[in-house]
Amino acid sequence: ATQLTLIAKWDISYISFLTGIFGLFIVWWTQTETKIDPKRVFLISLSFFWIAGTLLFGLYALRTAREEIKKDASQNQKEVIDTLVLRINKNFDERSATLTSFAGNEEIKESVKNSDQEAAIAIAKDIYEKLDNTERVLIYDKDGIAVGVYPRNSLAQGTNFSSRDYYQQTLKTYKGYVSPVFENILGTATIIHTEPIFEENNFIGMMGVALDLNRLALLYQVDGTIEYNLRAVDDKGTIVFDSDFTKIGLSESQFAFSQPRFLSSQFETIEIEQEAFTPRWSVSLETPVARLVAKLSSMHIILSLLLIVNAIFSIAAAIAAGARRKLEDVPQIVPASVLSNPRFV
């Protein structure tokens, strides 16, 4: 019954307590010769009503304390996720502003039009040094060929990326684009933030900033009095960052599972979700309820012991008050005249 209170099975816990106490009373009753005065049976009944009432009150107090903790945690989560999503959007907006300023630079336009690799690499290096959490900067011409890559990489330099979705989306919308997670030519999961380059309103190329997902995960970790499981998922259902770094770059569906209904309270969680509009991520914070109410465990045990002791004393008092006393236990009053005559003694 105590264990059931820990996992918030209040109705089953209540029935278990009552059944256990009544069962112990029946076992004791069958093993003793104590007889109850029929006129005082109501005292035993009253003791069980008292026990049922105190059990109900005690479990209600625990449930109220648990719900209050959950309410405070939900409010805390709302504040934390609001701050986190604001930080994510601000981070991408600032990166977009930096890329836009470089896109208007005449030097980058000339390097793209002339396929000047060294000039493009130098500009890519300048962008790389101005941005945080960047894995690689690429500058593409209008055909999608990488004319400048920094840090230098022979596999990426000169490669045609026009078939990539992020290139097609940038070309189609003429706007900066944040890609879903994809596998780059080195075989690692990444995302890329692009910005088109125009000359006289004509598309002549674009810039792309590949972001290190592990660095993003570190950047967007949250601090607080409550320990959270943090996750961001892109619009394709792929995990961009997670408190568990081993899940980064994997499909969220791989970690979806359901618990049997009778174990649902044991695995109960508080979860809040919000969208980061700039990168189109679904950001969620989750914490197990068991972790939050762990400090109530000792209270559960103490209260359970008090309820059991209360039940024992209540039943014992009722039995003592209602038991039929044996005749020999009743004091006999002998007249003094009888005591003075030895024959009647």
What is the model's pTM?
A: 0.69
Q: 34 by DSSP, 3-state: which?
A: coil
List all residues 6 or more positions away from 50 whose beta carbon is below 8 Å from its beta carbon: 314
CA distances from 266 to 6, 7, 269 (A): 8, 5, 9
Question: Rounded to 10 degrees, what is the CA torsion of 74, 76, 77, 80?
Answer: 160
Please give the chain's pLDDT, 345 residues, in tens: 555 555 556 556 656 666 776 766 666 667 666 666 666 666 667 777 777 777 777 767 777 777 777 788 888 888 889 999 999 999 999 999 999 999 999 999 999 999 999 999 999 999 999 998 899 999 999 999 999 999 999 999 999 999 999 999 999 999 999 999 998 888 888 999 999 999 999 999 999 999 989 888 888 887 665 677 889 999 999 999 988 888 999 999 887 644 444 444 556 788 889 999 999 999 998 888 766 666 656 666 666 666 667 666 666 666 666 555 554 444 555 555 545 555 434
Answer for the pair 191, 213: CB distance below 8 angstroms, yes or no: yes
Q: C-alpha 188: how far from its chain's center?
A: 28
Find out whether the peptide bond into 180 is cis, omega within 30 degrees of 0: no
Q: From 252, 236, 132, select the one nearest 244 (Cα to Cα).
A: 252
Please report which helix (H) or strand (E) contains residue 177, including its range.
strand 177-178
Tell me how far apart the alpha carbons of residues 55 and 308 are, in angstroms, rounded to a whole number.
9
Computed on alpha carbons and rounded to an integer, the radius of gyration of the chain in Å comes to 37
Q: Count Cα atoms within 13 angstroms, Cβ side, for 140.
A: 27
